[in-house]
């Protein structure tokens, strides 16, 4: 997925992609790349993540 003018260094265009090592961002202008945490990858690229199970203490109200 391409993000226009999102590079933190040159405000150029960034491509978000993933490989065997995980997700990463790569600047199209000079090759700057940055690994993404699984959470960031899920938010940016939409990779599936484990479902979030809410932790409820005994006696706690579920909002």
3-class secondary structure, 15: strand
Q: Which is nearer to Zn ion, 7 or 23 (CB)?
A: 7
List 16, 23, 25, 27, residue binding Zn ion (CB under 5 A): 27
Q: Which is nearer to Zn ion, 7 or 41 (CB)?
A: 7
**Taking CB under 5 A as the rule, does residue 12 contact Zn ion?**
yes
Cα angle value 19/24/25 (rounded, 5°): 135
Could you say which residues in the range 33-62 bind Zn ion, by CB under 5 A? none
List 1, 18, 29, 46, residue binding Zn ion (CB under 5 A): 29
Structure token digits, residue 35 = 């690994």
In Å, what is the CA distance from 45 to each residue of 24, 33, 42?
A: 10, 15, 6
């Amino acid at each position: 997925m391409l993000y226009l003018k999102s590079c933190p260094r040159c405000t150029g265009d960034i491509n978000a992609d993933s490989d065997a090592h995980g997700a990463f961002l790569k600047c199209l202008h000079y090759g700057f790349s940055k690994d993404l945490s699984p959470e960031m990858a899920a938010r940016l690229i939409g990779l599936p993540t484990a479902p979030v199970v809410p932790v409820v203490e005994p006696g706690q109200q579920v909002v």
